[in-house]
Amino acid sequence: KNQVEQSPQSLIILEGKNCTLQCNYTVSPFSNLRWYKQDTGRGPVSLTIMTFSENTKSNGRYTATLDADTKQSSLHITASQLSDSASYICVVSFDRGSTLGRLYFGRGTQLTVWP
């Protein structure tokens, strides 16, 4: 059972528009939640990382929110640009008391921005 579910699976928006990507997780307890951006054919790059006590974090036009009670996170992209076209991956980490915590990866939302 995938413990991190992302929606939508894919999304197309016009340049300049805003959008919101969703992440629901069942991992509990968790250490932190991250959003990564992955361009086609490249490795993921971190956008934000939030601990369970944080409920919002911004990185330029990207704003992530976290509701630890409902186990939901969202990534809001403002004034989209063509370069925002990528896969956005939600990752939840869980400290299980060993050096190797545990990372649960969502399957990503594929965002396409059209001119």
SS (H, E, C) the chain: CCCEEEECCEEEEECCCCEEEEEEECCCCCCEEEEEEECCCCCCEEEEEEECCCCEEEECCEEEEEECCCCEEEEEECCCCHHHCEEEEEEEEECCCCCCCEEEECCCEEEEEEC
- Span of 17-25, 52-60, 71-79, 93-101 interacting with another protein by CB under 8 A: 93-101
Q: Should residue 34 be labelled a site residue for another protein when binding is judged by CB under 8 A?
A: yes
- Span of 17-25, 27-35, 56-64, 65-73 interacting with another protein by CB under 8 A: 27-35
Q: Should residue 85 be labelled a site residue for another protein when binding is judged by CB under 8 A?
A: no
Enumerate residues 41-80 that contact another protein by CB under 8 A. Answer: 41-46, 49
